[in-house]
Structure 1
Amino acid sequence: MDEGEVQSFLIIFSVIAICLALTVIVLFIVFLQRKNKLLLQQAKTKEAFEKELSETQIEIREETLRNISWELHDNIGQLMTLAKIQVQMEEHRSDSIKEASDTIGMALQELRVLSKLINPEALKSLTLEEAVQLEIERFNRLQVLEALLKVEGEPRTLNPKEEIIIFRILQEFFSNTIKHSKASILIVEIQYHGAYLSIRAADNGIGFEQIDEKVSGIGMKNMKNRAKLVNADLKITAEKNKGTQLTLVYNFVD
């Protein structure tokens, strides 16, 4: 084999080797693209499943609350109304009967407010500020703590379903404050900033050093899951013996 043939052979061999290398590279790139596409589809499927699961769980909770609300209003409310009427018929006999009547009247009022606040259908007729204000007034009446609501900016209309979800997040925080924080003050600030809504709720309770699985529990997970459903940024911060704070940012979609 002369020198020219050797060179031709080397050229052909080089071309074949380059083609094979390019083929391997192309196949590898295609493989990576398909793998990434598959992983992306799996991630989207998982995200869609988790979102559907969260929505289903929330719908079940809302249906449960709706049924409890109706039960409170239609059955227990009617029984208390009847008891108040019966007691009022005997008011002239004793001062203690009058006090009992007043107590039943106050309990009936609280029952009606509570029934409205847990009923999704009733909440649809209230703005977010009105629903939060009802909670604030209820806390002050019951003297569980001193509560205050501040609203700033030009209010904007929220999607009714998303508005209820945001309110449920706040209710969960309020519940944790009353049950666990040993707080004496609760301040809620609702601020409209044009393109987004920010909400801050803070108490002066015992707080905690950090948020972990043991501390957070179901309530914290519920708040986080609900925030994801409305694409809101939710942050819970706390400092031991200095209170807990919730910050939620919700972007309006025009």
Structure 2
Amino acid sequence: MDEKEIIVLMAIAIPVTLVIIVIVLFSVFSNRKNKLLKEQEEAKKSFERELAESQIEMREETLRNISWELHDNIGQLMTLAKIQSQLAVDQPELLAEISDTIGQGIDELRSLSKLINPEALKSLSLVEAITLEIERFNRLKFITSTLKVNGAVVPLESNKQVILFRILQEFFSNTIKHSKASNLTVTLDYTDNQLTICAKDDGIGFDDNDVFLGIGLKNMKTRAKLINSTLSINSKREQGTTLHLNYNFT
């Protein structure tokens, strides 16, 4: 093969090689793009699924709360008012107490109406929603609870707010049902770039073998990850339990 033929072959081979390289690169790019789009779609579906589950769980928790309040709180107030009214036939001085009892029952119904109205719940900010929970715990004497808010409150996307509130609601539920705690403190720290949430109880705590650690913590971490948050729960036997959650605004 002479030099001229070699040059011709190279002139043909180089463009063909370049075309092959371009095709391969395009194929790789297309595959990566399709994979990324698929992952984004799966992430979107996962978020929507978790959001829907969180909303359903919140409604179920709300209905349980309403049931408890109607039976344990408002029902008892109305029973007391009935007894007072019967006694007032012979003791008119009890009329003032009856008025106070009925007034207290009306106030409790007004507070309860905020939970019954789904539109009202949707319009609540994260701080307002947590405040309602804290007030309910104290009103029903489930646990002595306090909420502290530091920094300027930053409005959150409603969908992400639902996830954050559900994570806290699950922590509250475990605290009240299982921890035997006397006190619960929730702190929200707002900065320009981040919301840090700390919820702490003084209950009996748990260890690695507890069901809460295996199921509850897993669910909470999964939901935190969906909104690009980091979540940790630290606990020791007889030393209480603390939740730390960092949510970045950007």
Compute the TM-score of the two structures, normalised by the length of structure 1.
0.69
Q: What is the correspondence of 1:63-102 to structure 2 with a 5 Å cutoff?
A: 64=60, 83-91=79-87
The unaligned stretches of length 5 or more in structure 2 are: none
Q: Structure 1 residue 117: deviation in Å?
A: 4.4
Is the counterpart of residue 245 in structure 1 residue 239 in structure 2?
A: no
Deviations 1:58-94 (A, max 9, x none): 4444555676778789999997776454333323599
Is the counterpart of residue 123 in structure 1 residue 121 in structure 2?
A: yes
Q: Which residue of 1 aligns with 2:175?
A: 177
Secondary structure (helix, strand or coil) at the match of 1:38 reads helix
Code of the residue aligned with 2:165 in structure 1: it is F
8 Å CA contact 2:62, 2:115 repeated in 1: no
CA 1:232/1:188 → structure 2, altered by over 3 Å: closer, same or farther?
farther
Q: Which residue of 2 aligns with 1:200?
A: 198
The unaligned stretches of length 5 or more in structure 1 are: none
8 Å CA contact 2:66, 2:115 repeated in 1: no
Is the counterpart of residue 48 in structure 1 residue 54 in structure 2?
A: no
User: 1 CA distance for matches of 2:177 and 2:222?
Assistant: 21
Code of the residue aligned with 1:249 in structure 2: it is N
Q: Which residue of 1 aligns with 2:148?
A: 150
C-alpha RMSD of the superposition: 4.4
Secondary structure (helix, strand or coil) at the match of 2:153 reads coil
Deviations 1:201-238 (A, max 9, x none): 12233444559997342x44554455456x35141221
Q: Which residue of 1 aligns with 2:137?
A: 139
8 Å CA contact 1:210, 1:239 repeated in 2: no
User: 1 CA distance for matches of 2:230 and 2:140?
Assistant: 29
CA 1:115/1:179 → structure 2, altered by over 3 Å: closer, same or farther?
farther
Deviations 1:32-60 (A, max 9, x none): 11111111121122122222322333444
Comparing 169-178 and 125-134, the one that deviates more: 125-134
CA 1:130/1:236 → structure 2, altered by over 3 Å: closer, same or farther?
same
CA 1:178/1:150 → structure 2, altered by over 3 Å: closer, same or farther?
same
CA 1:22/1:155 → structure 2, altered by over 3 Å: closer, same or farther?
closer
CA 1:124/1:72 → structure 2, altered by over 3 Å: closer, same or farther?
farther
Deviations 1:109-152 (A, max 9, x none): 76765664475434356554344334334434555444332222
Code of the residue aligned with 1:243 in structure 2: it is G
Q: Which residue of 1 aligns with 2:10?
A: 14
Q: Which residue of 2 aligns with 1:28?
A: 24
CA 1:120/1:199 → structure 2, altered by over 3 Å: closer, same or farther?
farther
Comparing 13-22 and 73-82, the one that deviates more: 73-82
User: 1 CA distance for matches of 2:15 and 2:114?
Assistant: 74
User: 1 CA distance for matches of 2:127 and 2:202?
Assistant: 22
User: 2 CA distance for matches of 1:197 and 1:35?
Assistant: 37
Code of the residue aligned with 1:184 in structure 2: it is S
User: 2 CA distance for matches of 1:167 and 1:92?
Assistant: 46
8 Å CA contact 2:51, 2:159 repeated in 1: no
Q: Give the ranges of 4+ consecutive aligned residues of structure 1 lying more than 6 Å apart after TM superposition.
A: 66-81, 101-112, 211-214
User: 1 CA distance for matches of 2:69 and 2:138?
Assistant: 22
Q: Structure 1 residue 160: deviation in Å?
A: 5.2
Identical amino acids, percent of aligned pairs: 40
The count of corresponding residues between Structure 1 and Structure 2 is 242
